[in-house]
Structure formats: structure tokens, C-alpha cells
Amino acid sequence: MLTTLPTVAPLQLGSLRVGPPVVLAPMAGVTNAAFRRLCAEQGAGLYVCEMITSRGVVERDEKTLNMLVFADVEDVRSVQLYGVDPFYVGEAVKVLAGEYGVAHVDLNFGCPVPKVTRKGGGAALPYKRGLLEAILRAAVGAAEPYGIPVTMKTRKGIDDDHLTYLDAGRIAEDAGCAAIALHGRTAVQHYSGEADWTSIARLKEHVSIPVLGNGDIWEAADAVRMLEATGADGVVVGRGCLGRPWLFRDLAAALTGAPVPSLPTLGEVAAMMRRHAELLADLMGEDRGLRDMRKHMAWYLKGFVAGSEVRASLGMVSSLADLDALLGELDPAQPYPVAELGQPRGRQGSPRKVALPAGWLDETDGVTGDLADAELDISGG
């Protein structure tokens, strides 16, 4: 049986109150307005838009601005911003707050993908302590007149020989950030292996601002264990909710001391799939929305018994009518596959060398570096 904590205190981010203290991590191609609404219908929390670039916002890039779509139930508009230039980051925050009603900005310093790190962005950037501080101060300064909190997300470091998270925490606190989230992996690890929750506990001891833990929260019980083990002020959930938006229902129950609902049957999962597809169709139009839905099918059906023909057809579905017919072939009474509980979901991969700009590790300031190309074509990345 899942253990629960006594009601966990809400997360206080400036004037923004998040209770229970659960945050949906931005995931490229996943956390659009439809998916965020689906998760929000399951439980309270903070649901963050896909990552966008600061230059894309400032230069009015169409792809970037088209991602700034919010569901009508999103009382708190939250955006994760990527940037390497203090000027562009500050100006982007002004646009987001002043023109789009964004009430929370999270800065991404944790992305490990090569197209980002090889230009000095994402998880590579905190190695440049001076540049990190300049960016954070620009963002906090730009957000202050609007009264919105700025947070940052990072990893432990580039690799075990180049850890940056404790310095990043100190810099974030000094710059006026409302909180820092730590994914307990290095950039080298990507999403492989196990997250190091002890690093989250060390960061919590190191700073006085709220710390959010991220990594290997597959079930509500994992969130309970993480909070108990690390003393963190909240959790950030990413891959664990792929094909399982009801995880936010379970998290809300576990962190408020309420009974955790029973696992869904295949019929209930099918109803969730239908709701997801409907929301995507409303957001993008039926053809595009159903195409976008295809990648979610395997996640929803992971571990369930379903015919190979049905699975293949769901992976090519193009209309709500076709989806209804295919879902009707599933056994609604089939119980949830308990063997899948606690198992990793989504991308995992293996450790790999981090792509960095030439000479990146030679010095740790970085303020005078030229990163003009580091924000090109990576919104949603």
C-alpha cells in the first residue's frame, strides 16, 4: 500500500502559491496546451509550457509564438524559457509578462541534447558561473515590475568531474530566484541510470530558497520517498506521466494525505486516450491533432494486452471516428498491468559524451563569450 505524507505545505514562489507542490516538467512535443489541460483536470499543480527561446520571443518568431497557447483552465500561465544572452532573456520576460499574461518563468539550464550543449546552452551553461549570474539577474530584474517569480532548472553538472549544481543554487539565491529545481543526473547521463537524490538533499542544505526534486518519479510513492529522503519543497514530474496523466491525481492524493485512487482499467485508460485526442483536435484541428496523438498510443497501452493489429492501427490513426472504433476493440475490464508500476517511461538511452564548444572548460566566467548562434531553431527542444 502507498504510504502518504501528512499534508505537504504548498510551494510558495513569490506571491504564487502551488499546492500540492507538484510541477509538470516541460517536454518537447508533449506538454502543449492539450496535455497540460488533461493533467490539470486530474489534480492541482503547476503545469509548464514547452521550452521556448528568448530570441524567438523577442524577434517574434512565428514557431515560438505559436507555442504560447494556453488552455482556459490554466489560471497560472507558466513558461520555460531558454536563453544564453542576458539581454534577450530580460526582454523576453518582459514580453511574456506584459503581452501574454505569463505568471511564472522557469529558466532552462538542464537540457542535455547535443544541438543545445554544443553551442553552450542548456546543461552546459551553468559551468560559466558569471554568465549564469548575469542571465538570472536579467530575468529577475525584468520580472520584478510584473510581480512574477523566476525559477531555474538545472542538472548536477556536465559530468562527475564538472559538477555545478551547488554553485548554481548559490547564484540563483543571490540573484533573487524564487526556487531552483534539480534533476539528479549529469548531462553525460542524459536520462540513463538512476537519478541521484542525495544531490537534491545536498542542494536543499546549501540554499535557503525552495528546492524542487526531479528524476525517477514514476509513481506517487516515489514522490513521497523523494520528499522524505531529501527534504525538498516539491517535485517536478516529467517522463513518469507519459501515457499516465492520472499520475497527477495520485500525487495530489498522496501529498495531501488523501486515499490514493485505484489503478485504472483499460476501459478507463481508453476514455483518457479519447479525451486527450479530443483536446488535441480542438487545439490543432482533427487531422493534425490525431497525428500528434499517435506518439502517445504506446505510452498509454504499455503493459496492457492489446492485439498487434490494433496497436499498429492506433499508431496510424487519423480521425476521432477511427479512434473510437479502435478503442472499442479493447477489453474495458482488463486490469492495469501492475508489473509496469515503478518502471521507467519514455526516453532513457545510455551515457554519452557531452558536446561542448571548443575550449568551454578552460574558464568559468563566460560573460564575454559569443553565443550568438546558441538559440537558433531550438524552441520546443
Q: Per the annotation, where are the binding residues? A: 26-28, 80, 153, 183, 238-239
Whether 177 is a known active-site residue: answer no
User: Which residue among the candidates 39, 111, 177, 241 is catalytic per the annotation?
Assistant: 111
Task: Name the DSSP letter for residue 290.
Answer: H
Of 89, 68, 173, 183, nearest to 131 by C-alpha is: 89
Is 120 within 8 Å of 367 (Cβ atoms)?
A: no
Strands 150-155, 104-109: parallel, antiparallel or unpaired by DSSP? parallel
Is 209 within 8 Å of 177 (Cβ atoms)?
A: yes
Residues contacting 331, CB < 8 A, separation 6+: 266, 267, 305
Task: Name the DSSP letter for residue 330.
Answer: S
Set of cell numbers at residue 53 = 527561446
Question: Any bridge partners for residue 163, and if so which?
Answer: 157
Q: Please provide the distance, in angstroms rounded to a whole number, between the alpha carbons at the two ends of the chain.
A: 38
H/E segment holding residue 254: helix 247-254
The amino acid present at 169, given as its one-letter code, is: G
Of 32, 148, 167, 150, nearest to 97 by C-alpha is: 148
Binding site, annotated residues for FMN: 26-28, 80, 153, 183, 238-239
Of 260, 264, 238, nearest to 249 by C-alpha is: 260
d(CA 299, CA 293): 11
SS3 127: helix
Catalytic positions:
111
